[in-house]
Amino acid sequence: MEFFDTLTNGAARGVLHAWSGDEFEHLPWREVARDAHGMAARLREAGVRPGTPVACVLTNTPDTVRGLLAVWLAGGTAASLPLPTRGQSAEAYGEQLVALSARLEPVLLLVDDELVTLVPRELAAQVPVRGWASLRGGGSLEPSPPGRDEPAFIQYSSGSTSTPKGCELTTGAIERQMEIILELTGGRPGADTVVSWLPLSHDMGMFGCLLYSWVYDFDLVLSTPERFGMAPRTWFRDMSEYEATMTAGTSTAVHLAARAQGNGSLPRELRLRAAVIGAERVDGDTLRAATEKFRPFGLSDTAFQPAYGMAEAALAVTGKPWRQAPRQAAFDRLAFEDGKVVEVASDDPRATRLVSNGVALPGVSVRAGDSGQVAQIEVASPSLASGYHRDPERTAERFRDGWLRTGDLGFVHDGELYVTGRLDDMLSVAGRKVYASEIEATVDSLTHIRKGCAAVVDTESSAGVQLVLLAEAMGKPRDFRTLAEAAASAVMDRAGVALAECLFLPRGTLPKTPSGKIQRFRCRSLLQDEQLEPVARVALA
């Protein structure tokens, strides 16, 4: 597969249906490619040459899609900078843009018009800033896209655990990832329809939905994160309306969509074959409830497809075979504290249930310590990044002898990968090791806590390490102390550790990435710097 030739000349039937404010705009891929050629000529005039980095803030607009191909046709390396994250101030976002641009040294910064005001003056004085729409127009040039072994895309991580890192991906790595996703989802070139609301700034939205659809000539129904956030029901409604066969999202998003569906109907029967679910811990109860909710509309028991991936591997690493139903197993959570894997019955009082993230995908190798042990997950893949752009120290730390040290913890059991958390999720409290993600999943199940909106952080005090819960309440609780005590009791029963304090935050303020991951390092920083403004604060110890 010749990646750029396919994007510009290979799409014969596929259409991009892009949300543009209040309706979908319908654009055949061949027209998108034609418009991109004209935009590429404008970029060449603006100084983009083969090998030059172009900083891009990628939103889900038609001009962004056109502009991305235009950057490549002009020879540039597209660098996807993060979007503003949930709970992040304009000042903090501006500082992040300045820091990332200093390392990247782009010839141009491309953003949507409404985001121009977020670009700090000091950065605008150093790097020309253009809106995607300003590139529209005629003109022509001889395309000179990045070669197979040259960097084509720099995917800055979402920053869920640290300062965003720029994963440098060659054209060849992207090509191989397209083939991996085709195998994962059972894709049929020229015959599928993909629906997505995921941000194009995230690897699931960019590689798993946009480029995958474009390369294999699928129809792509491209909504926006904002539309989904305002009306989660639109996700499955779009899939019904456009008879989608494939989609991708997070476990939390599935929960929100199923809840928003209520007792409503859908315009057509669902034809969904593969719904890749990742980017965060996959909750088995959520998948089961959503399957039951949408089964009357044609959703099969095999449609949800838990997977594991990361920006450093372009995207997918493991996944559930699309013809099979998701698998879940129960393990002794206390054994996890000693790094051991002990399978138990699902009704065992010490059981913690984990959803399998599937098997290693074609060409990919996964390892996680010795058999029966929880260890750091390591990955070797033909779509692995070359390293972190202009960051040799972190590259040497994470990329070793063809293997990526992911920073995630997990184990391989019966040939399938189970992810237990991240290295920085492992908290040491009173001599015990506990997973922050396990505590958060427990709090998530409480009636008056918003799903996916709980984070636990460790703080130092004169009494030693203490745990503080940050959470967004559901509805308008009258008694926050009762809610805090319920959370503390659930955490003690589940993990055997005490919460020292609960901070209940206004809706929409818990720091998260655009794909919905909790930014624990930012939670800890905001708590330490006393920058949070809770609606209630309850001391428990």
Roughly how many angstroms between the first and final C-alpha of the chain, as a whole number?
Answer: 61
Q: How far is CA 128 from the centre of its chain?
A: 29
Average pLDDT value for the chain: 91
Residue 454 backbone phi and psi in degrees, to 5:
-135, 135
pLDDT value, residue 392: 95
pLDDT tens figures, 44-103: 999 999 999 999 999 999 999 999 999 999 999 999 998 887 777 788 888 889 999 999
Q: Could you tell me where the DSSP H helices lie in 329-479?
A: 333-337, 392-398, 436-444
270, amino acid identity: L
pLDDT value, residue 12: 80
- Parts of the chain with a pLDDT under 70: 1, 158-163, 430-431, 461-463, 515, 541
pLDDT value, residue 431: 67
Q: Which residue has the tokens 């550790």?
A: 497
Domains and CATH numbers, the chain: 26-146 (3.40.50.980), 327-423 (2.30.38.10), 430-539 (3.30.300.30)
pLDDT value, residue 294: 98
Q: Is the pTM of this model over 0.85?
A: yes
Nearest to 470 by CA among 426, 515, 519: 519
pLDDT value, residue 495: 78
pLDDT value, residue 86: 74
Nearest to 56 by CA among 79, 86, 23, 28: 79
Q: Which tokens is 88 given?
A: 């992040």
Q: How many CB atoms lie within 10 A of CB 238?
A: 22
Q: Distance between CA 405 and CA 380 in Å, rounded? A: 9
